[in-house]
Amino acid sequence: MGENREWNVKKIMVCLKRVVDYNVRIRLRPDGSGVVTDGVKMSVNPFDEIALEEALRIREGGSPVEILVVSIGPADCQQQLRTGLAMGADRALLIESDIQVEPLIAAKAILKVIEREQPDLVLLGKQAIDDDCNQTGQMLAALWQRPQATFASKLEIVDGRATVTREVDAGLEVINVDLPAVVTTDLRLNEPRYVKLPDIMKAKKKPLQTESLASLGIDLEPRIRVLKYEEPAPRQKGVMVADVDALVAALRDKGIFN
């Protein structure tokens, strides 16, 4: 985390999304209307778990930080928020909703919480593994009119500024942003800690507040309409070639190059 000087960070808000566990084989409903979730193991989105781990490491670096975890979704999301509390968050907030929450609605809802909580830093995963949208953090920063640093693989906070190493197509990019800011986390930022049973028991006593999405007074009109879910095309069987010349010929036959 680097040398600990004046952090000037008193509150960090971490957004957690409930998703189908990454180890579960995804199955579609017969009518193609969505993914089967009944009886399926659900977990914290892995990228969001990394975001929470980073918040905990900032606090453990010597800064007296309060960590708030926030989730939007059905009542069952309390399970994932309790996981966040067991990891070490101080309190949790569930914005309860039975509708499908798309990125813009999520960003608007999170902004309402930000206006009330006034965090110095908002952390969330770069994307969720269920929809892979990679939009909520960017939309939130735009609505909040605060700096953003996406795809973070390293984060250092000193004197009220965040130095973020970003993973980009060309390699790594280092930027500095003033706080408050939005930072979205990538896989290589850290490895989340294992939650122990005593921590799970302690988490049951930590505060978990619930309020409805409708009570926030935001526009809930969806901008995205999903027509149908389909399985990806089956992967074609591979072909063994004898040598490089045969490989080149096979690629040429497929039209990959002339």
* Average pLDDT estimate for 127-141: 94
**CATH architecture entry for 11-253:** 3-Layer(aba) Sandwich (3.40)
* Average pLDDT estimate for 254-258: 78
Residue 172 pLDDT level (bands cut at 50, 70, 90): very high
**Can you give the pLDDT at residue 88?**
95
Contact criterion met (CB below 8 Å) for 17 and 92: no
User: Between residues 145 and 255, which one has the greater pLDDT?
Assistant: 145
* Average pLDDT estimate for 69-77: 96
Contact criterion met (CB below 8 Å) for 74 and 81: no
Contact criterion met (CB below 8 Å) for 153 and 165: yes
* Average pLDDT estimate for 150-161: 93
| Whether the bond into 64 is cis, omega within 30 of 0 | no
Radius of gyration (Cα) for the chain, nearest Å?
A: 21
- Cβ-based neighbour number of residue 135 at 10 Å: 16
Between the CA of residue 148 and those of 145, 163, 190, 232, what are the distances in Å?
9, 11, 19, 33
- Which tokens belong to 133? 């949208």
CA–CA distance, 222 with 100 (Å, rounded to integer): 9
User: Between residues 151 and 250, which one has the greater pLDDT?
Assistant: 151
Q: What is the pLDDT of residues 176-235, one digit of tens each?
A: 999 999 999 999 999 999 999 999 999 999 999 999 999 999 999 888 888 888 888 888
Q: What is the pTM of this model?
A: 0.85
Q: What is the pLDDT of residues 88-121, one digit of tens each?
A: 999 999 999 988 899 999 999 999 999 999 999 9
Residue 144 C-alpha from the chain's centroid:
18
**Can you give the pLDDT at residue 7?**
54
- Cβ-based neighbour number of residue 29 at 10 Å: 12
Q: What is the pLDDT of residues 9-49, one digit of tens each?
A: 899 999 999 999 988 888 888 887 788 888 889 999 999 99
Residue type present at position 243: D
**Can you give the pLDDT at residue 142?**
98
Does the structure show a pLDDT above 50 at 1?
Answer: no
Q: For the chain, which residues make up each domain, given as ranges?
A: 11-253
Residue 5 pLDDT level (bands cut at 50, 70, 90): very low
Residue 241 pLDDT level (bands cut at 50, 70, 90): confident
Residue 2 pLDDT level (bands cut at 50, 70, 90): very low
Backbone angles phi, psi at 241, to 5 degrees: -115, 155
Contact criterion met (CB below 8 Å) for 54 and 16: no
**Can you give the pLDDT at residue 9?**
86
CA–CA distance, 168 with 111 (Å, rounded to integer): 26
